[in-house]
Amino acid sequence: MKASLGIDIGTSAVKVLLLGLDGEVLAERAAPHPTARPHSGWAEQVPEDWWRSTVAAVSEVKSAADAEIVAVGLTGQLNGFVLLDSNDRPLGDAPIWLDTRAIAETAEIDSAHAGILRERGVTRLSPIAVLPKLLWLARHEPERLSQTRSILLVKDFVLWKLTGIKTTDPSDAAATAMYDFETGDWNRPLLVDLDLDPELLPEIGATASIGGSVTNEAATETGIAAGTPVARGAGDVTALAVGTGAIEGGILGITLGTAGHVVLGQDAARRPDLDSELWCLPHANPDRLAWLGLVMSGGLSLSWMHEMFASTGKPLSYSEMEALAAEVPPGASGVTFLPFLEGAATPYGEPRMRGTFNGLSPASTAGHMLRSAMEGVAFNVRQCVEAFQASGAEITQVHLAEGGARVDLWCQIVADVLGLPVRKLEALNTSTLGAAMIAMVAAGLAEYDDLLTPQMVQGKRFDPDPATSPIYEAAYRRYCTEAEAAARLAHDMNSTAPSAAKT
Ligand X SMILES: Nc1ncnc2c1ncn2[C@@H]1O[C@H](COP(=O)(O)OP(=O)(O)O)[C@@H](O)[C@H]1O
- Binding positions for ligand X, rule: CB under 6 A: 10-13, 257-258, 299-300, 302-303, 318, 402-404, 406-407
Binding at 413: pick from ligand 5SP, ligand X, none (beta carbon under 5-8 Å per type): none
In this structure, are residues 18 and 69 in contact, taking their beta carbons and an 8 Å threshold?
A: yes
In this structure, are residues 78 and 129 in contact, taking their beta carbons and an 8 Å threshold?
A: no
Binding at 97: pick from ligand X, ligand 5SP, none (beta carbon under 5-8 Å per type): ligand 5SP
In the complex with ligand 5SP, which residue's Cβ is closer, 194 or 237?
Answer: 237
Binding at 79: pick from ligand X, ligand 5SP, none (beta carbon under 5-8 Å per type): ligand 5SP
In the complex with ligand X, which residue's Cβ is closer, 296 or 344?
Answer: 296
Mapping DSSP to helix (H, G, I), strand (E, B) and coil, where does residue 246 land? coil
What angle in degrees, to the nearest 10, is found between the helix axes of 408-418 and 318-326? 40
**Minimal distance, residue 66 CB to ligand 5SP, in Å:** 29
Binding at 404: pick from ligand 5SP, ligand X, none (beta carbon under 5-8 Å per type): ligand X
In the complex with ligand 5SP, which residue's Cβ is closer, 218 or 295?
Answer: 295
**Minimal distance, residue 81 CB to ligand X, in Å:** 18
**Minimal distance, residue 154 CB to ligand 5SP, in Å:** 8
Query: In 10 A of CB 289, how many CB atoms?
Result: 27
Angle at 35 between CA 33 and CA 36, to 5 degrees: 135
In whole angstroms, what separates CA 97 from the centre of its chain? 9
In the complex with ligand X, which residue's Cβ is closer, 18 or 137?
Answer: 18
**Where along the sequence are the contacts to ligand 5SP (CB under 6 A)?**
10-11, 77-79, 97, 128, 175, 236-237, 257-259, 261, 294
**For the chain, how many residues are written?**
503
**Minimal distance, residue 376 CB to ligand X, in Å:** 13
Cβ-based neighbours of 469, under 8 Å, separated by 6 or more: 416, 419
Binding at 237: pick from ligand X, ligand 5SP, none (beta carbon under 5-8 Å per type): ligand 5SP
Q: Is residue 63 exposed (0-12), middle (13-18) or buried (19+ Cβ within 10 Å)? A: exposed
Binding at 338: pick from ligand 5SP, ligand X, none (beta carbon under 5-8 Å per type): none
Cβ-based neighbours of 487, under 8 Å, separated by 6 or more: 344, 348, 350, 353
Q: Is residue 418 exposed (0-12), middle (13-18) or buried (19+ Cβ within 10 Å)? A: buried
d(C-alpha 89, C-alpha 365), whole Å: 51
Binding at 294: pick from ligand X, ligand 5SP, none (beta carbon under 5-8 Å per type): ligand 5SP
**Minimal distance, residue 406 CB to ligand X, in Å:** 4
Binding at 125: pick from ligand 5SP, ligand X, none (beta carbon under 5-8 Å per type): none
**Minimal distance, residue 155 CB to ligand X, in Å:** 13
Write the Ramachandran bin of 465: left for phi over 0, alpha for psi from -120 to 50, otherwise beta: beta
In the complex with ligand X, which residue's Cβ is closer, 135 or 400?
Answer: 400
**Minimal distance, residue 404 CB to ligand X, in Å:** 4
**Minimal distance, residue 440 CB to ligand 5SP, in Å:** 21
In the complex with ligand 5SP, which residue's Cβ is closer, 257 or 376?
Answer: 257
In the complex with ligand X, which residue's Cβ is closer, 318 or 357?
Answer: 318
Q: What are phi and psi of 380, to 5 degrees?
A: -65, -35
Which amino acid, one-letter code, is at 437? Answer: M
d(C-alpha 171, C-alpha 156), whole Å: 12
In the complex with ligand X, which residue's Cβ is closer, 209 or 303?
Answer: 303
Mapping DSSP to helix (H, G, I), strand (E, B) and coil, where does residue 300 land? helix
Q: Which residue is nearest to ligand X (CB)?
A: 403
* DSSP code for 498: P
d(C-alpha 343, C-alpha 179), whole Å: 25
Residue from 11, 280, 31 nearest 155 by CA: 11
Q: Is residue 227 exposed (0-12), middle (13-18) or buried (19+ Cβ within 10 Å)? A: exposed
In this structure, are residues 391 and 272 in contact, taking their beta carbons and an 8 Å threshold?
A: yes
Cβ-based neighbours of 303, under 8 Å, separated by 6 or more: 258
d(C-alpha 343, C-alpha 259), whole Å: 11
**Minimal distance, residue 481 CB to ligand X, in Å:** 26
Binding at 93: pick from ligand 5SP, ligand X, none (beta carbon under 5-8 Å per type): none
In the complex with ligand X, which residue's Cβ is closer, 407 or 490?
Answer: 407
Binding at 302: pick from ligand 5SP, ligand X, none (beta carbon under 5-8 Å per type): ligand X
In the complex with ligand X, which residue's Cβ is closer, 15 or 124?
Answer: 15
Binding at 78: pick from ligand 5SP, ligand X, none (beta carbon under 5-8 Å per type): ligand 5SP
Q: Is residue 118 exposed (0-12), middle (13-18) or buried (19+ Cβ within 10 Å)? A: middle
In the complex with ligand X, which residue's Cβ is closer, 14 or 264?
Answer: 14
